[in-house]
Structure 1
Amino acid sequence: FLQMKKSLIALAVLGASSVAFAASNVTLYGVVDGGVVVSKAKKADGTVVRASSGFDSGPRWGLKGVEDLGNGYSVGFQLEQGFNLDTGTTANGWQNKDGDTGTFNRESRLYVQGGFGTLSFGRFGSLASGAGSQTILTGWQFGTSYEDTGSWTKYGKGNSRINNAISYVSPAFGGVTLHAMYSNGTQKDDERWSDNHHYYGLGLKAKAGAFDGVVIFEATDAKGTDSVKGTAYKNPAYSVTAGGNYNLGVATLSAIYQYAWSSDTYKQNAFGLSTAVPAFGGTAKLGTKFVFGKDEAKAAGEEDKYNGWSINAAYSYPLSKRTYAYGYAGYTHGGKLWKAETAKEADLSHTGYAVAMGLVHKF
C-alpha cells in the first residue's frame, strides 16, 4: 500500500510538471551582426569608414512561445527587440512626436492558428516590407539587407513595420496561400477612424516544385496625421509587387517588379534580377536592380523625372551551424532628378558605393 501511494504521488508530480512545461514553452532567440563598412556618396566629402551593426542581418533578441489548445488549435506569441551592436542602443523603434517609443519594436505579435489558418494581432512588418514573420516579399536575393546600395526597399516602395495590425494567413490550397493584412492606424489609432492612417494589404504566395513566388497589393489612405512629423498625410498610396525564385539546383534565379503610385505625388517602376550560387563551401550572390519614376509634386519647369540602377555582390561562408562570415560590395547610380540633387540631399541610394565585411551569430 505504501509503495502504491508513493507511485501515485510520483505520477501526480510528473503530470503537474508536464503541464507546467507545456504551459511555459518559451524560446529565447536572437541575431548578432557586427562588421566594418567603407562607403562614399558621390556628392559627399570624403570616404567614410565605420563600425557596422546589422549590415547583413539586423541585431535582435526575442521571445516566442506556443501552447497547444487541443483539437488542432494553438495560441502563440512573438516579442522581438532590435538593438545596435556598436552602441548598445535600441533600433527599429517607432517614436511619436512626444518621444514615446516601444520595447519590442521589431515585432509584438499574439496569434491563434488552426484548420482555418493563422490570425495575428499586434505590430509587425507589412506584406511587402521584407521585415518580420508576416512579410511575404520575395524575388530579390539581397532582401532588405546591405543598406542603401543593396536593399530592395531603397528602390521599391514599402510600408515597413506597422502598429495596430491584424494579419490573416490561409491554409495552403494546392501550394497557394492567401495573406491579408489591415492596420487600424500605422502609428496610432486613438482618434476617430477617419483620423487614423490605415494600411491595407492582400497577397498570394505560391510554391510549385522548384518555383516559389508572390503577388502583393498594398495601399495606405490619406487619413490622419503623421505622429512623428506632426503633418497631415496628403494622398493615398498604392503598390503592386510581384517576385519569384526558381531553383535550378546549381543556382537559384530571382526576379522582382513593383509599380507604385500616389496621385499628385509620384509614379514609379522598380525591378531587380539576382542569383544565389553555392561556391567554395558558402553562397555567392549577384544582382542588379533598376528604378525610374516621376516626382509629380515638382512645379512646372523643374526636373521631375528620376532613375537609378545598382550592381551588387555578396558572399557568405558558414563557420558553424549558427555563425557565418560575409563580404559585400555594391554600387548605385542616380540620374536626372536624383543626379541634380544638392550634396546635402545626396545619399547612397542615388550615387555611391559601399564595401563591407562582418560576422553574424544566431542563437
Structure 2
Amino acid sequence: MKKTAFAFLALNSVFPAAFAQGSVTLYGIVDAGLGYTSGQRVAQSTGAAGKPIVYANASNYSFASGTWSGDRWGLKGKEELGDGLAAIFQLENGFNIGTGQLGQGSREFGRQAWMGLSSTKFGKVTLGRQYDPIVDFVGPISAGNFLTGMGAHPGDLDNIDNQARENNSIKYTSPSFSGLQLGALYGFGNQAGSVKNQSTWSLGGQYANGPLAIGAAYMQANNTYGANSGAWTGSYDGTFSSSINEGFASARNQQIIAAASTYQIGLVTLGLAYSNTQYTAGSFSLFKGKETFNSAGLTVSYQATPTVRVAAGYDYTRGSSINGASAPKYNQFNLASFYSFSKRTSLYALVGYQKASGKTLDAYGNTVNATASVGDVGNGISSATNTQTLVRVGIRQTF
C-alpha cells in the first residue's frame, strides 16, 4: 500500500498537466425587431445568359432577426495544461430567432467551429471553420462596429462585416507586442491533385495604443479552376449574395485588401475604412479580365451619456467599367442610435440609404443597371431600382 501511494505521488509530480483545471462557457446573443425596406426585388421571370431576370420592386414591413448582431449561441472551452499552455475550442451556432432556422447554410455550428492550443508566450494555433484576419483585425474597428451590419460596405463585398468564414483552415494569432498583434490563416481546398483549387490564405495585423487603433489585412481565395457553374465553391464561403457582386461568383479567384482606423477624442470616436476587392476571371467565368471595387467610408460615433450612443456614416464604392459600360457606383448613408438598459440589454434604431448608378453584371453574366443593396446581406434583399432605404428598430440581449 505504501509503495502504491509513493508511485501515485511520483507520477503526479512528473505529469501535473493530467490534473489541470478546465472550464466551458455557454454564451450567446438574441436580437429581434421590426423592419421596413423601401424596395425589395421580386423576380417576375426566369433568367439566363442573354436574358436578364425581370424584377418588380415591393416595399416590405417585416420581422427582423439579428440586425445589430446575428442571433447565436455557443460554447467556449479552455483547459490549462501548465506553463502558460492551454487547450481551447469554440463552437458557435447561428440562427434566425423569428423562425428558429439554422443560419450559414443550415450548419449546426456555422458561425465558428474550431479547436487548438494557446500559449501566453507564443500565441495560439487553431484549426476548423473560422474567421480570417480581415474579420479579426479590420472588422472590430470598421463601420459595422459603430453602425451594425447596415453600415457595411454594399453587400459586404469585402467581408469586413464577417459574412463569410473559411472551412478546413489553420490559423495562427500572435500575442500582443506593445499593442501590435499579427495573424495568418490558410484554408485547405481538400482537392485531389491540386493544393491551390478552393484554397484560401490571409495575413493581417492590428496596432492599438491609447486612443488610436489601426488594422489591415489581405486575403486571397481561390475557386475551382475551370468551374463553369457560375457559383463560388472555394474553402472561403464567398460574399456573392447581393446585386453588388453576384455576377462575379464564377471568378477564378478573389483578392481583398482592407484597412481601418479609429481615433477617440473624448466622447467622440472617428473612423476611416478602405477596401479593394478584385475578381479575376478564369477560362469558364461569366466575365472576362478583372473587376475591381474600391470602397472608402467615414464614421462618427458619440457617447452622449453612459447609456445613449449615436453614430453616423458615409460610404462610397466604385467598381471598374464592365464591357465598356459606365462603372457601377454606390453612395450610402447611415444613422444609428443605441440605448442601454444594462450591460446585457439594449434598444436600437437604424436607418440606411443607398443610391446606385452605372452598370454591373447579373448572376448570368448579363450587363444590367446597377441596383442598390444597403449594408450586408443579413439585413435585407437587393432592390430592383437604384435606390433603397432600410429602417430597423429592435432589442438585443447578450448572455
* Residue number in structure 1 paired with 2:278: 261
CA distance in 2, matches of 1:178, 1:226: 37
* Residue number in structure 1 paired with 2:369: 340
Q: How do 1:46-195 and structure 2 match up within 5 A?
A: 46-93=58-105, 102-114=107-119, 115-128=121-134, 130=135, 134=136, 136-143=138-145, 146-147=148-149, 149-152=150-153, 154=155, 156-158=157-159, 160-185=164-189, 189=190, 191-194=192-195
- Offset of 1:116 from its aligned partner? 1.0
Secondary structure of the equivalent of 2:67?
coil
Residue 55 of structure 1 contacts residue 145 of structure 1 at CA under 8 Å; is this kept in 2?
A: no
Q: 1:77 to 1:214 in 2, by over 3 A?
A: same
Secondary structure of the equivalent of 2:21?
helix
Deviations 1:48-70 (A, max 9, x none): 10000001110000011100000
Q: 1:314 to 1:145 in 2, by over 3 A?
A: closer
Q: 1:153 to 1:182 in 2, by over 3 A?
A: farther
Runs of 5+ in structure 1 lacking a partner?
1-18, 94-100
- Offset of 1:255 from its aligned partner? 0.3
Structure 2 counterpart of 1:33, one-letter code: D
Residue 359 of structure 2 contacts residue 369 of structure 2 at CA under 8 Å; is this kept in 1?
A: yes
Residue 155 of structure 1 contacts residue 270 of structure 1 at CA under 8 Å; is this kept in 2?
A: no
* Residue number in structure 1 paired with 2:5: none
CA distance in 2, matches of 1:267, 1:259: 7
* Residue number in structure 2 paired with 1:235: 252
- Offset of 1:26 from its aligned partner? 0.7
> What is the TM-score when the length of structure 1 is the normalising length?
0.81
Q: Which has the higher contact order (CA 8 A, sep 6+)?
A: 2
Residue 163 of structure 1 contacts residue 183 of structure 1 at CA under 8 Å; is this kept in 2?
A: yes
Deviations 1:265-308 (A, max 9, x none): 3112101100111124311111011101115xx44x5x251101
* Residue number in structure 2 paired with 1:275: 300
* Residue number in structure 2 paired with 1:7: none
- Offset of 1:235 from its aligned partner? 2.4
Q: How do 1:204-353 and structure 2 match up within 5 A?
A: 204-224=205-225, 229=231, 234-263=251-280, 264-280=289-305, 281-294=307-320, 298-299=322-323, 301=324, 303-337=325-359, 340-341=369-370, 347=383, 351-353=387-389
> Where do 4+ consecutive residues of structure 1 move more than 6 Å?
none
Residue 72 of structure 2 contacts residue 95 of structure 2 at CA under 8 Å; is this kept in 1?
A: yes
* Residue number in structure 1 paired with 2:240: none
Deviations 1:165-217 (A, max 9, x none): 111111222321111011002xxx25333473011100121012210111111
Structure 2 counterpart of 1:255, one-letter code: L
Structure 1 counterpart of 2:387, one-letter code: T
Secondary structure of the equivalent of 1:142?
helix
Secondary structure of the equivalent of 2:192?
coil
Structure 2 counterpart of 1:104, one-letter code: F
Q: 1:182 to 1:195 in 2, by over 3 A?
A: closer
Q: 1:166 to 1:241 in 2, by over 3 A?
A: same
* Residue number in structure 2 paired with 1:37: 35
- Offset of 1:32 from its aligned partner? 0.3
Residue 42 of structure 1 contacts residue 351 of structure 1 at CA under 8 Å; is this kept in 2?
A: no
CA distance in 2, matches of 1:38, 1:168: 41
**Is structure 2 residue 395 aligned with structure 1 residue 359?**
yes
- Offset of 1:318 from its aligned partner? 0.7
> What is the TM-score when the length of structure 2 is the normalising length?
0.74
Q: 1:76 to 1:228 in 2, by over 3 A?
A: farther
How many residues get paired? 324
Secondary structure of the equivalent of 1:137?
helix
Residue 242 of structure 1 contacts residue 257 of structure 1 at CA under 8 Å; is this kept in 2?
A: yes
Runs of 5+ in structure 2 lacking a partner?
1-17, 42-55, 235-249, 281-288, 361-367, 373-380
CA distance in 2, matches of 1:37, 1:170: 41
CA distance in 1, matches of 2:165, 2:228: 15
Residue 38 of structure 1 contacts residue 47 of structure 1 at CA under 8 Å; is this kept in 2?
A: yes
CA distance in 1, matches of 2:276, 2:231: 26
Residue 140 of structure 1 contacts residue 152 of structure 1 at CA under 8 Å; is this kept in 2?
A: no
* Residue number in structure 2 paired with 1:11: none
CA distance in 1, matches of 2:228, 2:128: 19
Residue 31 of structure 2 contacts residue 68 of structure 2 at CA under 8 Å; is this kept in 1?
A: yes
CA distance in 2, matches of 1:260, 1:74: 37
